[in-house]
Amino acid sequence: MSKGVLLIGAGGHARSCIDVIESAGLRVFGLIDRDPTMVGGDVLGYPVLGSDCELLKLAKDSSGALITVGQIGRPKIRVSLYEKLTSCGVVPLSVSASTARVSRHASIGNGSIVMHQALVNAGARVGVNCIINTGAIVEHDVEIGDHCHIAIGAVIGGGVRIGAGSFVGAGAIISHGVSIGSNSIIGAGCVVMSDCPAETFMKRSA
Ligand SMILES: CC(C)(COP(=O)(O)OP(=O)(O)OC[C@H]1O[C@@H](n2cnc3c(N)ncnc32)[C@H](O)[C@@H]1OP(=O)(O)O)[C@@H](O)C(=O)NCCC(=O)NCCS
């Protein structure tokens, strides 16, 4: 029997990821976290096996790894963990929830997770180390670059391009055909109707 997936990051996003991984019929091996005081504890019944210094050893002992550190804003921590893993030959898994709908004509990169009730439609391409969060809609022919987080309930219209390292907040709407440059932050609830350059920062006022 396989040992299961090592989760890297033991916070709130990891808890949602555990539910997705279980729904996909995969086993969880355990977690690691950069906070050494968490080691020896558990998350939803799975052990926190070590801190970041044990990352590579534990990743190699497991049957796959997934970065479960969350991302609000820029993906610095997720990118550095991804690079650390891949530079040592560990290729993170991609996982889709049993309740997600991923078209067989879509592609999902290594280390990316498609969470419950999300839709990734035909012709869409999702890069590596992305989060397509609960209930997000990624319509036909969308291109999402590496290390992006499309947060809960965001709607990405057909043919949209989102550059690498970007964050699209909860419930944001990106109109069909729009391009958003890399390393952008589109805040929760924003509506984007036209192209945005790299490093756009957009926030909805209270
Ligand atoms: C866009 C949003 C993050 C801004 O929140 P904020 O409190 O003003 O900004 P923060 O201080 O938290 O900064 C968030 C990031 O935006 C950057 N930022 C903030 N103001 C900025 C500005 N004027 N220009 C450029 N970048 C800016 C910060 O540097 C930070 O980057 P980092 O991730 O590298 O640290 C917030 O409005 C939002 O939409 N949050 C997401 C909520 C959500 O979707 N939750 C569900 C997640 S599943």
Identify the domain containing residue 61 by its residue range.
Answer: 5-70
Hey, whose CA ends up nearest to atom 17 of ligand 1?
73
Domain count, the chain: 2
Which numbered atom of ligand 1 lies nearest the CA of 185?
1
- Assess whether the C-beta atom of 115 lies below 6 angstroms from ligand 1: no
Residue 86 inside a domain? The answer is no
Q: Looking at residue 22, which CATH number applies to its domain?
A: 3.40.50.20
Question: CA neighbours within 13 Å on the CB side: how many for 95?
Answer: 31
Rounded to the nearest angstrom, the distance between the alpha carbon of 203 and the centre of ligand 1 is: 8
**Model confidence at 152: pLDDT above 70:** yes
- The pLDDT of residue 53 is 87
DSSP string, 53-111: GGHHHHHHHSSEEEE----SS--HHHHHHHHHHHHTT-----EE-TT-EE-TT-EE-TT
Helix, strand, coil % in the chain, rounded to nearest 5: 20, 30, 55
* Residues 114, 25 within the same domain: no
Residue 75 inside a domain? The answer is no
- The pLDDT of residue 19 is 98
Question: CA neighbours within 13 Å on the CB side: how many for 72?
Answer: 7
Residue 38 DSSP class: G
Helix (H, G, I), strand (E, B) or coil at 191: strand
Question: What is the pTM assigned to this prediction?
Answer: 0.96
Q: Looking at residue 123, which CATH number applies to its domain?
A: 2.160.10.10
Rounded to the nearest angstrom, the distance between the alpha carbon of 133 and the centre of ligand 1 is: 17
- Assess whether the C-beta atom of 183 lies below 6 angstroms from ligand 1: no
* Residues 12, 51 within the same domain: yes
Rounded to the nearest angstrom, the distance between the alpha carbon of 106 and the centre of ligand 1 is: 29
- The pLDDT of residue 1 is 56
Q: What is the pLDDT of residues 47-95, one digit of tens each?
A: 999 998 898 899 888 989 999 999 999 999 999 999 999 998 898 999 9
